[in-house]
Chain A
């Protein structure tokens, strides 16, 4: 695909501003009615989905050229997809998020990259991770864990820790807990350790699509060799890459987020949560597990017009609306914990506010990322919850760092941490 293929998506924008709000039916207050961090932080219309579609059209028509502001318009956005959900409430055929991503691809392919991203992409090429760490220490997080190393052994299930869990010393305990939990529940599980590679999903979202393909090939090869049937990951970004993006490359393994796997094991009675955890928590839906975590639907079709002028696709083109993301499994797990109270925020599920860390914003615009996280923490605090819980290490890192700066009292957990407390 090329940006030109999205021209109709650009001209179809009705400039209605739905993309700036959570689905309007769901608005519960003026304070938490907004959906898009980018327009809220940056202000100008160009920093909304609608604005970006018009900028893409302007670029296609040669009305504008490349400059630093254009790069900001393209990259100062988490690509969290909230705009896309709201937009598609009424605009069935628009592919807003895809168009924004295609703009990134175009700029990267034209050599117009964001300088702040360069070191990270270079590191991905050289060290196969997105967190500026050496490849050699990727497996250190699992030191001493009694778990199969699938670089040498075979197992039905692989636990893919992802870059953040592999290198973030403060969070690594969560990944260790998850592996132990699954192993103790009788799952034939292993890890790749040092040989694990980045999923490539973050690079893809930044506009580096070739990098995704390279990572996908590397991971698929390793999983095939280890005779893996199921990939379990505790990282929402990896989940999205495997579930949605790798499928486009033809991967057919079962992809499961660890909260889904734990939910299954609890239902089967293989994990028993008995200890009281007297906490009131609120759950933050990671964008890549929730609205962006819908399964990929293979499709090829042709366009035609019916009833004179309605453009349609035959067979029907899949619509990614956020309806079928992973929302219930993490909540089910939390609800299984004795003594724990789940207090929901106003913006949840397909219309959740982003943590700020996605789309290259954390690396390119750290102040914006922190502002976005702070907004979410404010929302969390209005629920009366003592802690915000998520299911993605990128969200958790974002919140932990922001809580520290804010000198806040909200604790940050992963669902797995709470499960461990209840064992």
Chain B
């Protein structure tokens, strides 16, 4: 439905003419999204065009916009950093709220170890500010460019340090939520005027309600502020950066260690996860380097260290004896950062790691012990400022599987992930980088106990056949998962975006209780149905 002139004027009155646009070029810059090509007709890179884009500058403005949307029955969708198609309108007739003007770190409470942020504060910014104060935040696995608030309120927000710093979902404290009906709800302790320190009270706890099964991802109102819990950071107040772009490095503080540890097989690898949970020695634990494929990834990581080289040189690197050896050595591997709160502490943690490796038959991969490689690892892993290297091969990937659970559960779907991926890589339509292109947290929640593996499939976004193969691969994985009694992973969530209402209803009916309750919640908070299906609900019969 086109935005009426009256509605447009009312919106313009709120933000001012500078911060609203209906220009088609501007609209297309919002419609363009990675992954659109997997769900849109003709593999278009464009999601539906918004009716207008607005840049609100305050909670009050957001509230006023939402009220106008209710008055004129206009759907709205807010995004922060705006990365991938979940942020875009899913249908015609939606206005886009670009939250980039709400970009302040409002408070860092050192004593109570939390930060209050607005939507456009990303992990990289918040981390820089917290580290100055001896604190650290969780940078979501999507990387430092992603919004902290969104990770905390609308997704799970787990990352490499989650085993120590927690998942952003866990770290959410007080929050300010403009509900879909235009009312503002302040949750947790904030709701009773007691400050930001607690998510559950004194005051209303809405954590489960608004998050739903995963997170509403912009489908149920707009978060305008939230507080997140912080953790200790016994490192430098400011990362000293060395090295030449892009291979930036940071010197290793004496109480830090960065390792790539490897094992002879998956069983030993997963066994080591349990031991890491039990011993609580990790600051960072994540399977990262293999995201570019266990077979080809090592060649890329070596290439990346040389600023004179480009992706065009990867074959040359893959042929090197040293790289072949490294590929073999780190076939079953992941990355660890140990951080000592004191020198004794790091020595203790080091000893525990040695013992775990001894008991599980693991080893520290030698190449990654070289000073420059260690320094590169440290910076890459803790800041996640280069995380979008997962786009380096082709500009497109989908991450299948990624169901979180105990290591024994993840171990169950790992062979299937390899088998289904290898089959498609063999067609030549996905990048043949090794059927194990799996990345994921060793411990996705604080203290560990839960992990996950996301299987990357790289397709060339500029190649219709390759893109079609990625779509086919996702569908195939869902079928194979069903055969093995494994729930669909992220691929199910991706494809859901392109499904018809009827198809989606069939899927949601498989978990009727959750989606019926979500419908009741939505009816209560979004009576005019102005959010989209990212807060999925099962229709009333």
Contact = CB atoms under 8 A, between A and B. Distances in A.
A300 to B, nearest CB: 13
Interface in B371-402: 379, 383-389, 391-396
B369 to A, nearest CB: 21
Contacts of B519: none
A394 to B, nearest CB: 24
B432 interface: yes
Given A64-B24, A307-B432, A309-B429, A316 B82 contact: no
Contacts of A52: 29
Interface in A323-374: 323, 350
Interface centre among A10, A15, A50, A58 (most CB of B within 10 A): A15
Interface string A299-318: 00000011111111111111
A25 B83 contact: no
Interface string B77-105: 00001111000000000000010110111
B120 to A, nearest CB: 10
Contacts of B348: none
Contact of A46 (B26, B104, B244): B26
Interface stretch (B15-23, B414-422, B528-536): B15-23
Contacts of A18: 145, 388
B34 interface: yes
B124 interface: yes
Interface in A354-401: none
A309 B463 contact: yes
Contacts of B427: 308
A322 B12 CA distance: 41
Given A12-B461, A90-B392, A310-B394, A54 B145 contact: no
Contacts of A350: 245
Contacts of B425: 308
B359 to A, nearest CB: 35
Interface in B146-170: none
B205 interface: no
Contact of A309 (B18, B81, B391, B466): B466
The DSSP consensus for interface residues of chain B is: loop
B98 A45 contact: yes
Contacts of B21: 44, 69
A119 interface: no
B23 to A, nearest CB: 4
A188 B433 CA distance: 57
A84 to B, nearest CB: 11
A264 interface: no
A227 to B, nearest CB: 34
Contacts of A53: 32
Interface stretch (B193-201, B308-316, B508-516): B308-316
A229 interface: no
Contact of B310 (A17, A44, A67, A316): A316
A23 interface: yes
Contacts of B432: 307-309
Nearest to B129: A30
B428 interface: yes
A50 B81 CA distance: 12
Interface residues of B, number: 86
A312 to B, nearest CB: 4
A58 B25 CA distance: 7
A11 B395 contact: yes
B132 to A, nearest CB: 8
A81 B46 CA distance: 26
Contacts of B28: 46, 54-55, 57-58, 63-64
Contacts of B413: none
Interface centre among A16, A24, A53, A321 (most CB of B within 10 A): A24
A125 interface: no
B246 A15 contact: no
Given A11-B395, A44-B21, A309 B428 contact: yes
B307 A321 contact: yes
B248 A23 contact: yes
A285 to B, nearest CB: 13
A204 to B, nearest CB: 24
B267 to A, nearest CB: 29
A93 interface: yes
A73 interface: yes
A4 B105 CA distance: 42
Contacts of B311: 92-93, 310, 312
A55 B25 contact: yes
Interface in B191-245: 238-239, 241, 244-245
A45 B460 contact: no
Interface string A1-45: 000000110111111111001011111111001000001000111
A318 to B, nearest CB: 8
Interface of B: 18-19, 21, 23-26, 28-34, 37, 45-46, 53, 55, 81-84, 98, 100-101, 103-105, 121-122, 124-129, 143-145, 238-239, 241, 244-246, 248, 250, 296, 307, 309-315, 379, 383-389, 391-396, 425, 427-433, 458-463, 466
19 contacts: A7-B462, A12-B461, A16-B145, A18-B145, A24-B144, A25-B241, A33-B124, A43-B98, A44-B55, A45-B26, A54-B29, A69-B21, A89-B246, A90-B392, A307-B431, A308-B432, A310-B460, A317-B310, A323-B307
**9 closest pairs, A vs B, by CB?**
A24-B385, A54-B32, A12-B395, A316-B312, A46-B29, A51-B29, A25-B385, A90-B388, A58-B28
Interface of A: 7-8, 10-18, 21, 23-30, 33, 39, 43-46, 48, 50-55, 57-59, 63-64, 67, 69-70, 73, 85, 88-94, 305-319, 321-323, 350
